[in-house]
Structures are given as C-alpha cells and as structure tokens.
C-alpha cells in the first residue's frame, strides 16, 4: 500500500522535505506548482515523483499534506483544503514559524475526519528556492510539532514516524509556547538587526565613514537584516502580541545599559558581560537552529597573483562546496586574511584538512 504525500510550496523547505521522503519504500511524493515550468523543474530535478497545477489533484487521496507556503498564505490554503473531500484520516501539517494562529484557524474550520498538526522545522539556509533543497537540511535540527487539543495520539505518532526520514529531533510543544520561544530566539534578533542597520544607515547619510568602517564584523552580526521583507512582515504581524511584549522587555534591557553608562557603573557593565558570556558558553555551537549558522575558516595567504583562484580550484577539485570568499586584509608584503564560508559543517572540516595538508595556516 502506497502512502501519498502532497507538498504545497516546493521551495527550500518543501523541496527538502520531498527529498527526505522521495525514494523511500511505500512513499510517493506529489508537488503542487503554480506554473507549468515549475512543475517540470520539480520533476526534472528529481525532487518529487510527480507535480500538478491542480490543488485538488495534489490533495485528494493524500495521506499527508505539507503546507510549505509563506505564513501569510497558510490560512488561505487551509480554508481551500477544508472544502475538499479529503481522504479520511488525512494529516495536514505546515512549516510556518508561527503556530498559534494557524492552530486556531484549523480548530475554527472543524476539518471533518482530517487532523491538523502544526509543524516547524527549525533549520534553514541563506539560499532559497527548490535549487537550494537538500535531504540533509533537517539532519540534527529540531523539528517542532504543535498538535492542538483533540488530535488523536495515533495521528500524531504517524506524522512523527514519517518525519524520522528527515533525521531531525522531534519536539512537542503547545502552539502558544512555541511562538513565545521562537519569537525570542529568532523574531526578536531579526528586528534588532534591522533596527541596528537602519540606525547606522541614518548616520551614514551625513558621514560615509560609517559604511566604510562597518565592513567585516558588523556585516556578519547583522546579516539576518537581509532577510526577505515580505516574509518577515507576515511573520511579525502574525506574532504581533508576543513581539510587543518581547520588545518591551528589550527596551528594558537597553535602559539598563543606559543607566549603567550614565552612572559610570563599570562593575555593572562587567557583570552584564559576564552573565551573557556564561549563558552563551552553554549554548550548543554546532546544532542547527532558527538562524542558519556560519561555517567559516580563516587562512593567512600571501599577496600573490592568482592565490584566490588557486585555493578555490584546490577545494573544487576535491568536491568541496564553497559558499563565499572574502579578503579581510591584503597589503603589499603583508599576508592577507582570507575568510572561506561554507554552508555545511562537513565541507568546512574537509576544507580545513585539505588546506592544512597544503601548508596553509588555518584558523576556525
């Protein structure tokens, strides 16, 4: 007996889920597309078994339906599915980064003989689209499931067992608790990064040295400010009440530093940094999370013509995927610092071994 999995939104997340399921015994994956060329691309790239432009064709007869569309579109898709004669026992899930609103929508629709279980794979990439999809995207990541009250335990276990193909660690949470936690560890940092960049941008309007000197570290710590504006508009508005509370708490943290500086309280500043250092040192370094990690190597390189191309060729010849190269400093007769960025930790580790073998001085 074949289990049919329908995926709406075959991009980075939906495509990666499809790749986790495709080819597994007893599973068939159908992708929904809005354009004929997209449907052809999904199949030709081997991401899905088949693709269709029809929402009904994708959904009818499906045992599992994954809604991998933007947060702002989730309720619309759920409403469209609610009027279809879906297969009894069908499980609908999503991958949105907010959970309370879609759970409430599912309850209000009172889906007949169908179970909705919210989901959120806490892994991502700086790239987007089906071209960036990978069956390894969720490996060693947390995958949160937020079943609303009344969902049969058997249905939850069925989805949980299917998601074992992702090699993610499943975590069960209430939708509201999920939104509070993810709001703090992901949504709030995005707001802070955007606000900080915009603050520096305002200064730069009257003194261009701000942007000149902000390269390097400043660009790194604010990289999430470059996230998709429309997606983040929908996420933040959807999680509005949580974000308002978090921002008030953040303002209090900022006010604390204002007081410390006004009072020239050196001991208080030191205590604040010590407290942050202590907590941050306990956080796992190499576990996948909401904000995609950077895997960087730094190497000393001489200022010789062709050195960048040579290193890139050495890595390419070994099949090591390189995401980005940056020269941090290079002056005549002074070694430059080259930063090599990788999307996967195993690529970074392989590059480190190769470069050390080729007598480069490598720093992680």
Instruction: Say what the pLDDT of residue 332 is.
Output: 44
Instruction: Say what the pLDDT of residue 302 is.
Output: 66
Instruction: Say what the pLDDT of residue 287 is.
Output: 57
Question: Would you state the structure tokens that stand for residue 178, as one six-digit string?
Answer: 């999920």
Residue spans of the domains in the chain: they are 3-173, 178-281, 295-363
**Percentage helix, strand, coil for the chain under 3-state DSSP, each rounded to 5:** 50, 20, 30
Yes or no: say if 234 and 70 are a contact pair by the CB < 8 Å rule: yes
CA–CA gap between residue 109 and residue 2 (Å, rounded): 28
What is residue 198's three-state secondary structure?
helix
User: Which of 124, 98, 248 has the alpha carbon at shortest distance from 181?
Assistant: 98
Q: How far is CA 273 from CA 147, 237, 266, 282, in A?
A: 39, 32, 11, 15
Element (H, E) at 92: strand 91-94
CA–CA gap between residue 340 and residue 299 (Å, rounded): 8
Beta bridge partners of 339: 298, 326
Instruction: Say what the pLDDT of residue 334 is.
Output: 44
Question: What's the fold here for domain 178-281?
Answer: 6-phosphogluconate dehydrogenase C-terminal fold (1.10.3660)
Instruction: Say what the pLDDT of residue 315 is.
Output: 87
Domain with residues 295-363, CATH architecture: 2-Layer Sandwich (3.30)
Yes or no: say if 268 and 260 are a contact pair by the CB < 8 Å rule: yes
Low-confidence ranges of the chain (pLDDT < 70): 125-127, 215-216, 285-294, 302-304, 327-336, 364
Instruction: Say what the pLDDT of residue 216 is.
Output: 65
Instruction: Say what the pLDDT of residue 123 is.
Output: 83
Yes or no: say if 49 and 22 are a contact pair by the CB < 8 Å rule: yes
Yes or no: say if 135 and 16 are a contact pair by the CB < 8 Å rule: yes
* CATH numeric code, 3-173: 3.40.50.720
User: Which of 70, 49, 10 has the alpha carbon at shortest distance from 227?
Assistant: 70
């Amino acid at each position: 007996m074949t289990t049919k999995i329908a995926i709406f939104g075959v991009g980075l997340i939906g495509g990666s889920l499809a790749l986790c399921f495709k080819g597994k015994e007893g599973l068939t994956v159908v992708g929904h597309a809005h354009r004929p060329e997209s449907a052809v691309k999904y199949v030709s790239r081997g991401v899905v078994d088949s693709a269709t432009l029809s929402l009904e064709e994708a959904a009818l007869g499906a045992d599992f339906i994954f809604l991998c569309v933007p947060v702002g579109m989730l309720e619309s898709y759920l409403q469209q599915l609610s009027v279809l004669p879906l297969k009894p026992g069908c499980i609908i899930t999503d991958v949105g980064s907010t959970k309370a609103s879609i759970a409430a929508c599912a309850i209000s629709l009172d889906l007949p003989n169908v179970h909705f279980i919210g989901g959120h794979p806490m892994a991502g990439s700086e790239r987007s689209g089906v071209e960036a999809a990978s069956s390894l995207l969720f490996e060693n990541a947390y995958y949160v499931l937020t079943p609303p009250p009344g969902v049969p335990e058997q249905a939850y276990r069925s989805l949980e067992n299917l998601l074992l193909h992702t090699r993610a660690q499943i975590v069960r949470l209430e939708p509201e608790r999920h939104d509070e936690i993810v709001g703090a560890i992901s949504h709030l940092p995005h707001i802070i990064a955007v606000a900080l960049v915009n603050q520096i941008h305002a200064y730069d309007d009257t003194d261009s040295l701000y942007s000149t000197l902000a390269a390097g570290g400043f660009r790194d710590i604010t990289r999430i400010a470059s996230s998709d504006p429309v997606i983040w508009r929908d996420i933040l508005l959807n999680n509005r009440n949580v974000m308002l509370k978090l921002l008030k708490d953040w303002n209090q943290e900022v006010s604390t530093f204002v007081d410390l500086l006004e009072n020239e309280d050196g001991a208080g500043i030191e205590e604040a940094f010590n407290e942050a250092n202590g907590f941050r040192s306990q956080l796992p370094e190499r576990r996948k999370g909401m904000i995609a990690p950077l895997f960087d190597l730094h190497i000393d390189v001489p200022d010789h013509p062709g050195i960048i191309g040579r290193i890139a060729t050495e890595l390419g010849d070994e099949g090591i995927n390189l995401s980005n190269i940056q020269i941090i400093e290079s002056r005549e007769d002074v070694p430059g610092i080259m930063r090599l960025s990788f999307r996967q930790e195993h690529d970074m580790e392989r590059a480190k071994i190769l470069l050390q073998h080729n007598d480069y001085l490598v720093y992680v």
